[in-house]
Structure 1
Amino acid sequence: MEDKELEEIKKKKMKELIRKMEYPKEPVEVTDSTFKDFVKKYPVVIVDCWAGWCGPCLILAPIIESLAKKFAGKIVFGKLNVDKNPKIPHEYGIMSIPTLLVFKNGKLVDRIIGAMPEPILEEKLSKYL
C-alpha cells in the first residue's frame, strides 16, 4: 500500500472516531424549540415522546437509556416531554405515548408506538443503521 493510501485511510478513520465521540451516549432532553435542529444534526435520531404520568413511558425509559449506550456513535436518542412541549406532538399527530419518532437524515421514516422489550426494540432500530 502506498503512503498516500495509508494517509487517506488514517484520515477517514480519524474523522469517524471524532464523529463518534461527538455523539451523546445518553438521551438528550429535547424541547419544542430545539427539536428541528436536533433531528437534523445526526444521521439517525430517535425521539422518545413521553410524559411523567405515563406508566408505559416509565417502563420504556431505562430501555432507551440502555439502547443509547449500545448504539452510541450510530444513533442519537432524544426525549421530548409532551406535557411541557405540546407543539411537536401536535405537529406530528402523536395521539398516544410512548411514541418513538425515527428520523433518518432529518426526515421522519418511522414511528414506533408503545413500550416493548429491549431486544425487540433493538432489532427494530438496527435496520436504520
Structure 2
Amino acid sequence: MAVETILEVNDANFDQEVLQSAQPVLVDFWAAWCGPCKALAPTVDEVATENAGKLKVAKMDVDKNQATPMRYGIRGIPALLLFKDGKVADQIVGYVPKETIDKSIERVIG
C-alpha cells in the first residue's frame, strides 16, 4: 500500500478504527489472489487521496481476517462498505468505475 492515507484494519482493531470513527469510513474488503481487487486498488487509493480529511479509507484482507467479513456478510470481493456513525451506509460489490464510488460517498457524506 503506497498511500499513507489508507489504514490497514483487522478483526482486532475494526470496531475502534471503523465503527467508533468520528469520520465516515470506506472499507475495502480484498484478498491478495483477487484480480478485480488488484484492479480496484488504484481507484481506492485515488478516492482516499481526494477525500483526505473528510473520509477515512481502510482495507481489510479477508484471508487474514474472517470474523469481520462474516459479520457483514461479505461473500464476494472486492466489496466496499461505507460506514457512517458505526453503521453500514452503503455497499458496493465487485469492480466498479470510480464514478460509482464517488456517487456513493457523495450520497453518504454529502
Structure 2 portions without partners, runs of 5+: none
Determine the structure 2 residue equivalent to 1:11. none
The CA distance in 2 between the partners of 1:118 and 1:108, in whole Å, is 20
1:124 aligned to 80, 104, 107, which one?
Answer: 104
Q: Is 2:32 the counterpart of 1:71? A: no
Letter in 2 for 1:28: L
Tell me which residue corresponds to 2:10: 31
- Measure the CA separation in 1 of the matches of 2:87 and 2:23: 10
Higher helix share: 1
Q: CA RMSD in A?
A: 1.4
Instruction: Pick the structure with greater CA Rg.
Output: 1
Deviations 1:61-120 (A, max 9, x none): 010001001011111100000000111011111110011111101111221101111123
Q: How many residues align?
A: 106
TM-score normalised by length of structure 1: 0.77
Structure 1 runs (4+) deviating above 6 angstroms are none
Secondary structure of the residue that 2:65 maps to in structure 1?
coil
Match of residue 107 from structure 1: 87
Question: Distance between the aligned counterparts of 1:43 and 1:96, measured in 2?
Answer: 26
Q: Normalization by structure 2: what TM-score?
A: 0.90
2:41 match: 61
Structure 2 CA distance for partners of 1:84 and 1:60, relative to 1, 3 Å: same
Deviations 1:36-84 (A, max 9, x none): 1111223200100000111110011010001001011111100000000
Listed as ranges, the gaps of 5+ residues in structure 1 are 1-23
Contact 1:48–1:79 (Cα < 8 Å) also in 2: yes
User: Which of the pair has the greater relative contact order for Cα pairs under 8 Å at 6+ separation?
Assistant: 2
